[in-house]
Structure 1
Amino acid sequence: MKTVYHKADSRGFADHGWLKSYHSFSFANYYNPERMSFGALRVLNDDQVSSGMGFGAHPHSNMEIISIPLEGDLEHKDSMGTTAVIRKGEIQVMSAGTGVQHSEYNRNQDELVKFLQIWVIPNKMNVEPRYDQIRISENSEVNAFQQILSPNPNDDGVWIYQDAWFNLANFNEGYSQEYRLNNEGNGVYVFVLKGSAKIGDQVLGTRDGFGIWETDGFLLEAVADSEILLMEVPMVI
């Protein structure tokens, strides 16, 4: 088993006034040659957008883009004709493929939007762009892994063009469960949204990241009541 630990305060940080963003991996003006990606997981941004502000229309191509809201209402518009609002308890995916433009705004005038922006490098290039959004909170369970993303359109959660699986874990203090990887050659990047968790001898605090690979599975234990995102991706792309 190989591991890498990224403490929350070691992330890159950008303060644009209306946008405050923490970068787990190199992004925009934050460059760290030792933190370019975790396998196919290229971007993990922890964003906070001021009321009424947002990202104007900008292009993407050949990337799987996943948004997970944590607070507030995020409005999305794109060149495919999609207009949607995503909220906590939902997940959004956009396969940029041959190219798409989109914008994202905090539609409220009195509260922040907080969300995770995640990019996964696809295993199929130049696909027709697509958009999907589903509510995941209806299937959430305490003390269980909840699959929210996979490569299979008929499985739970959204799907992407990559052999990747995302799970949310809402664990009570003291609860532990083994996570088994779906594919040989994959790794898992564990990101603690809130609370505290333990993997082996490593204790993880809120917004800490921990990558694990060259293993079939591992035990995840909640040191406190915790919400944890597990992102399993291929390590070779």
Structure 2
Amino acid sequence: MKTVYHKSDSRGFADHGWLKSHHTFSFANYHNPDRMHFGVLRVLNDDQVDSGMGFGTHPHRDMEIISIPLEGGLEHKDSIGTTSVIRKGEIQVMSAGTGVQHSEYNKNKEELVKFLQIWIVPNKKNVEPRYDQISIKEGESLNHFQQILSPNPDDEGVWIHQNAWFNLAKFEKGNSKEYQLHDSKNGVYIFVLKGSAKVGDQNLETRDGFGIWETDSFMLEATEDSEILLMEIPMDFPKI
């Protein structure tokens, strides 16, 4: 078993006034050669967007882009004809493939938007761009792992072009559960959204990240009422 621990205050930070963003991995002006990626997890940005502000139209290509709102609502528009608003309790995925342009705005004049922006390197290039968005059935999986993403269109949650599974864990204090990896070549990056938890001997606080690989399973214990995102992804970049 191998592990890596990323304390919340060790992340990169950018303050653009209207946008405040914490970068777990190297992104834009934040460059750390020791924090380039975890397996095919390339970007994990913890963003806060002021009211009435947002990201203008910009391009992406050959990347699986996942957005998970934590507070407020974010309007998405793209070049494949999608206009949608995502809110807390939902998850959005965009396969950029051969190329797509999109914008993201907080159209609400009175509240912030807080969301996670996650980039996964796909296992296929030049796919047809696609968009999907679903509501997460909150409250149905307390003290269990709730799958919100997989490689399979027919499974629970959204799907992407990669051998990856995301789960949300909403655990009450003192509850624990074993996570079984789907693939021995995968690892899991654990990100604590709120509360605190423990994996083995490692204590994790809010916004801490913890990567674990070369193992078939591990125990996750909530040391407070917690909400935790688990991202199981291949540890090797695909040869595409």
Secondary structure of the residue aligned to 1:9 is helix
Name the structure 1 match of 2:114: 114
The percent of aligned pairs where both chains have the same amino acid is 78
What is the 5 A alignment of 1:122-141? 122-138=122-138, 140-141=140-141
Name the structure 2 match of 1:204: 204
**Is 1:45 the equivalent of 2:42?**
no
Which stretches of structure 1, 4 residues or longer, exceed 4 Å deviation after superposition? none
RMSD, aligned α-carbons: 0.7
> How much has 1:139 moved relative to structure 2?
6.8
Distance 1:116 1:78 in 2: 19
5+ residue gaps, structure 2 = none
> How much has 1:137 moved relative to structure 2?
2.8
> How much has 1:140 moved relative to structure 2?
3.7
Name the structure 2 match of 1:16: 16
Secondary structure of the residue aligned to 1:137 is coil
**Is 1:29 the equivalent of 2:24?**
no
Name the structure 2 match of 1:184: 184
Residue type matched to 1:15 in 2? D
Distance 1:106 1:69 in 2: 11
TM-score with structure 2 setting the length = 0.98
Name the structure 1 match of 2:91: 91
Distance 2:216 2:58 in 1: 39
Secondary structure of the residue aligned to 1:188 is strand
Distance 2:115 2:62 in 1: 22
How many pairs are equivalent? 237
Distance 2:63 2:168 in 1: 22
Distance 1:76 1:223 in 2: 36
Which is further off, 139-148 or 186-195?
A: 139-148
Indicate conservation of the 8 Å contact 1:139/1:146, yes or no: no
Indicate conservation of the 8 Å contact 1:92/1:133, yes or no: yes
TM-score with structure 1 setting the length = 0.99
Secondary structure of the residue aligned to 2:9 is helix
Residue type matched to 2:171 in 1? F
**Is 1:168 the equivalent of 2:168?**
yes
> How much has 1:184 moved relative to structure 2?
1.2
Name the structure 2 match of 1:217: 217
Distance 1:230 1:223 in 2: 17
